Every structure is written in structure tokens, then in C-alpha cells.
Amino acid sequence: MQESILTNITEAIYQHGFYSSCNFFNDAELNLIKSLYFKNKDNFVEAKIGSEKDKNLNKSIRNDKIFWIENNCEEFKAPFFNKINALLSALNRRCFLGLNLYEFHFATYAKGNYYKRHKDVFNNKDARKISVVLYLNKNWKKEDGGELLLYTQEKTVIIEPTWGNIAIFESSIEHEVAISNTDRLSLTGWLKNEKNIFT
């Protein structure tokens, strides 16, 4: 990975709180990640709102399905987690976020699915600092919808869920997923500053 990409990302997060582009993962990596989705596609479950203690299923807010990826999953190391680790270190160096943990899941939105305006920081738990969403939809068209709308202080940013596009943003920024008019696949996760990592 080019060091300049990491510099661009960390600079954008530091200055604006968000970053988006389609050149963080290359085609070979994206194809591998997508093949791991196909391998696990029968194991997806309905997504829930809130932290572990407060899992009230609320379909009026979100109705996607997810599959959590183990952090030690060997198959994800080369195509995905190696770069996520590099990103985490670069963000710590530039933004002093004290990131020490991450968690990722695949998410599928079927036709008509959405995720209403929300923050990724739970009320009772603020360990999530940076949200990362990688989109895996080839041939995505404008009429397919399913855009990520980021309500930053400066403006509303619209991010299309196209193949290889990545959105990286502060988890405290409000955002939503517009109704998707077709199947929509992403790999979503959070870089965390987990204070109780040893408990």
C-alpha cells in the first residue's frame, strides 16, 4: 500500500472527520473479500440496535442482515486486516485516538432495506471512534439508491456504495443509509479505543 494513501486518509480525518475514495483496496483484494462473503452468505442474521446489553431489535430503524468476522480469521488477514492494522496505526500517529481494537461485519441490504439516521456511538459506550465501510457492489447504478449520507458539520456528503469505494469517518457523525433498490453488500466496522481491554 502506498504511504500517500494513509497520509491522505489521516489528514482528511484530522481536518474534516471523514474520507472516501475507491483506491484503498485493489481489485484482487476486493475479489478475495467478496469470495469470503459468498462462503458465509447462509450465516447472516438480522442486525440489532444498541450495545450488547440493549439489543432491542428495531426494524423501523434498520433492516439489514449481518455476519460478524472473527478478528483472527486467517483468510481475512492478507486481503483485509493487514491494511486495517496499518490504517489504525496511521490514525493513532496523526490523530492520537488511542485505537487498540476493531470489529467488522458484512452487511447485506435487500431491496427496500435502509438504516435511518443514527450515530455509531452507543449512549452507554463510546469505544467506537472511527467507522469504516467498504462497498462491494459491482456495476452499481444511480437508480439503485442505497447511498450513505454523512451529515458532517460542513455539509451533507453523499457516498455511493460502488465496488471498492470506502467511507472512513468519525463514529460520532450522524449518517444514514438511503433505501436500497437492489441487493447491497458492504463490509462495515469500527476502530475502537477500548479502555477495558484487559477486563
Binding site residues, ligand OGA, CB under 6 A: 107, 115, 120, 133, 148, 175, 177, 186, 188
Residue number, 120 or 160, with CB nearest to Ni ion: 120
Residue number, 34 or 175, with CB nearest to Ni ion: 175
Cross-strand pairs, 188: 105, 133
We find the least distance from the C-beta atom of residue 57 to Ni ion, in angstroms, to be 16
Q: What is the DSSP string of 29-86?
A: HHHHHHHHHHHHGGG-EE---S-TT-----TTTB--EEEEEPTT-HHHIIIIIHHHHH
Scanning 41-199, the segments in alpha helix (DSSP H) are 74-76, 82-95
We find the least distance from the C-beta atom of residue 53 to Ni ion, in angstroms, to be 19
Site residues (vs Ni ion, CB under 5 A): 120
We find the least distance from the C-beta atom of residue 146 to ligand OGA, in angstroms, to be 8
Residue number, 94 or 193, with CB nearest to ligand OGA: 193
Amino acid letter, residue 130: I
SS3 at position 1: coil
C-alpha cell at 146: 442505497
We find the least distance from the C-beta atom of residue 33 to ligand OGA, in angstroms, to be 15
- Picked from Ni ion, ligand OGA, none, the partner binding residue 88 (CB below 5 to 8 A depending on kind) is none
